[in-house]
């Protein structure tokens, strides 16, 4: 993942048609659902987390 030039979704949101907003919401929901299903090998740990992990739910 990397940053690209241009407007953020927040900046562009009000200029989008309702249909396009709905399509984007569904695409983001599917992407989040796929990320939630990812599994990690139990013996391997990625990163240094010294605080509780909180899952944010952005369901539509």
Taking the domains of the chain in order of start, what are their residue ranges? 15-40
- Mean pLDDT across the chain, nearest whole number? 80
pLDDT at 14: 95
Q: Nearest-CA neighbor of 33 among 60, 53, 8, 9?
A: 60
Query: CA 13, 27, 30: angle at the middle one, nearest 5?
Result: 140
Mean pLDDT of 49-58: 58
Q: Which tokens go with 39?
A: 């599994």
pLDDT tens readout for residues 7-34: 988 999 999 999 999 999 999 999 999 9
The reported pLDDT for the residue numbered 42 is: 73
Judge whether 45 and 53 are in contact, CB under 8 Å.
Answer: no
Question: Distance between terminal CA atoms of the chain?
Answer: 24
User: What is the reported pLDDT for 24?
Assistant: 94
């Amino acid at each position: 993942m990397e940053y690209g030039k241009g407007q953020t979704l927040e900046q562009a949101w009000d200029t989008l048609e309702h249909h396009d907003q709905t399509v984007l919401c569904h695409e983001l929901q599917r992407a989040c659902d796929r990320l939630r299903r990812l599994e990690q090998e139990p013996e391997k740990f990625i990163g240094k987390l010294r605080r509780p992990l909180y899952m944010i739910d952005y369901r539509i």
